[in-house]
Amino acid sequence: MGNIISFATVEEAGFKIAHDSPSNSFIASGPTQTLIFPNHHLDSMGTKVPTTGMCLLDTVTNNSKGYSPCQVVEAKAARNTMNMMRLPSFDTFFHMVRDNLINNCPVHLDSIKIADNDFGLDIASLQGKMT
């Protein structure tokens, strides 16, 4: 199992990226450590990343920091409502709420936007639309 990360994400985390032609590998040098991504002869490069001291992923906790607890609760309610409706796309759900197509819907448009920002794309929705 692996994760794909972009050069931009690695650089934003404070690493400088260089390519070593003789070994055909990428070297990411950070303030406290250096990671080497060798070529695995499968047109892919990878390395084992230490599990402590570094995180290159956004988490729901970090995404929720700019919102009040009430807004986070409403965002969860918006995501739960989307799940009850069999996972419509963000745009479809947004338009349904905006145009009052759902009777007695307690969800607000701002809550839908916050849910999208906080939780990202719904995995079950992506799997159902991409398989």
pLDDT tens readout for residues 97-125? 999 999 999 899 999 999 988 887 777 66
Same domain, 21 and 64: no
If one counts the domains in the chain, the total is 2
Same domain, 80 and 102: yes
Order of strands, sheet of 16-20, starting from the edge strand that comes earlier in the sequence: 16-20, 25-29, 34-37
Same domain, 34 and 78: no
- Domain endpoint, select from 13, 34, 57: 57
Residues 75 and 108: their CA atoms lie apart, in Å, by 9
pLDDT of residue 114: 92
| Higher pLDDT pick, 12 / 100 | 100
pLDDT in tens, 27-45: 888 877 787 878 766 566 6
pLDDT of residue 67: 87
Judged against a pLDDT cut of 50, whether residue 1 lies above it is answered with no
pTM for the full predicted model: 0.53
CA dihedral 109, 105, 121, 75 (to 10 degrees): 70
- Identify the domain containing residue 94 by its residue range: 60-130
